[in-house]
Amino acid sequence: MPYVRLSQKELKEKPREQLLNFRRTRKFLVAIDTDGCVTDNMNGKQILIFHPHFMEFYGLWEIESYYREIAEYYNLFSEHRGCNRFIAIQLILHALYERKDVQDLVRAKNIKLPDLSLVEDFIDYAKKNNLGLGNQSLEKFINEERPKTFGLYKLLGWSEAVNRTFPHISAEIPPFDGVEEAVKLIAQHADIIVVSQTPYDDLADYWEKYNLAMYISLIAGQEMGTKAQHIELAKKVGGYKDDEVLMIGDAIGDLKAVKSNNGLFYPVVPGGEEKSWQQFKDAFRKFIVHEYAGHFEEQLLQEFNAVLSQKEPWNQPGYDHLEHYRKYQNLRIQLYKKFNPTGRLLIV
């Protein structure tokens, strides 16, 4: 089943149709994430795009070090890495409201934090209506439920600003070394689907730009639901057995998505991505001869789980805010120097 890009009409009116009409052509199914997995853009898109845009939209620059610390933890260094942008905002706002040091600073500087309930209401609406957590769903929520709630328009504006900035930063970062070779190998034995919480058009632009789209069957973005739902639909309509399904990802959410469908997982380890892709060939050979499940996969998962912290640093003994902020300062500085040298960044 060759990849065909969805039209804007299809994307808006029936985004899941391609998954429902998916046709199996190979013995195996491989689902691949993109951001932070195929391309080294996870740090860049969060630190350079998501976080500064949110502080700009909501006037949070006076608590920049706290906002960046919390946002980086949830989006990059925790089990939530790779989660949907609105889920991430929900987590970030919870932390901002719960931290006493943040609340003291907010009161002292008379800062108004965003309304957490609006984000939660949208997430609940999307779940109840079986919608993906994307801009189209947020527009639908506003139009049908809250047309006079101005705070939701601001949330949508932030998300749209993020999307508009992607082509100028995120899309310029090429795939990791070894990705193209791996995708070519996979395509000989498996149907490939891209599963992601990134908007569909950004994914399609990226896979087409780097000539990888020719090897895949379809792309499923945030408009088609969660990664677990993407895999569930493709697995069901394709009739794949549990040990015929493999997910390649860099986040705990990717692992959970495929395990909820009883499939197997190959981790692209954050900080060791190129090594992971170099070692993939041997792992894939084990997968196609049904020697992957069990001890081999468990060893890979041990290394992967050890990398992503599961506890908030600000709740740990001996925590010092400025010390922790400095921990990733060089990463921020290097990204800004390379991609946005005139951008606003707090250096302490």
- pLDDT for 165-178, tens place per residue? 988 887 778 899 99
d(C-alpha 33, C-alpha 251), whole Å? 9
If DSSP codes are grouped into helix, strand and coil, which group holds residue 159? helix
Confidence of residue 103 (pLDDT cuts 50, 70, 90): very high
If DSSP codes are grouped into helix, strand and coil, which group holds residue 78? strand
Residues 6+ apart with CB under 8 A from 111: 59, 60, 62, 63, 105
d(C-alpha 347, C-alpha 330), whole Å? 9
Question: Phi, psi (5° rounding) for residue 171?
Answer: -70, -15
| pLDDT, mean of residues 122-131 | 95
What structural domains does the chain harbor? 8-40+176-307 (3.40.50.1000), 42-170 (no CATH)
Residues 6+ apart with CB under 8 A from 214: 3
Confidence of residue 115 (pLDDT cuts 50, 70, 90): very high
The reported pLDDT for the residue numbered 166 is: 85
Residue 346, number of CB atoms within 10 A of its CB: 14
**Residue 82 in this model has a pLDDT that exceeds 90:** no
Give rounded-to-5 percent helix, strand, coil for the chain. 60, 10, 30
- pLDDT for 203-231, tens place per residue? 999 999 999 999 999 999 989 999 999 99
- Strand-pairing partners, residue 39, are 35, 175
Mean pLDDT in the chain?
95
Residues 6+ apart with CB under 8 A from 123: 86, 87, 90, 133
- pLDDT for 127-137, tens place per residue? 999 998 999 99
- pLDDT for 269-328, tens place per residue? 998 999 999 999 999 999 999 999 999 999 999 999 988 877 899 999 999 999 999 999
* Inter-residue contact 173 to 39 (CB < 8 Å): yes
Distances (CA, A) of 107 to 110, 116, 200: 5, 17, 40
The reported pLDDT for the residue numbered 173 is: 85
| pLDDT, mean of residues 130-154 | 95
Question: Phi, psi (5° rounding) for residue 82?
Answer: 85, 5
What is the longest distance spanned by two Cα atoms in the chain?
62
Percent of the chain exceeding pLDDT 70 equals 100
d(C-alpha 111, C-alpha 103), whole Å? 9
d(C-alpha 154, C-alpha 57), whole Å? 7
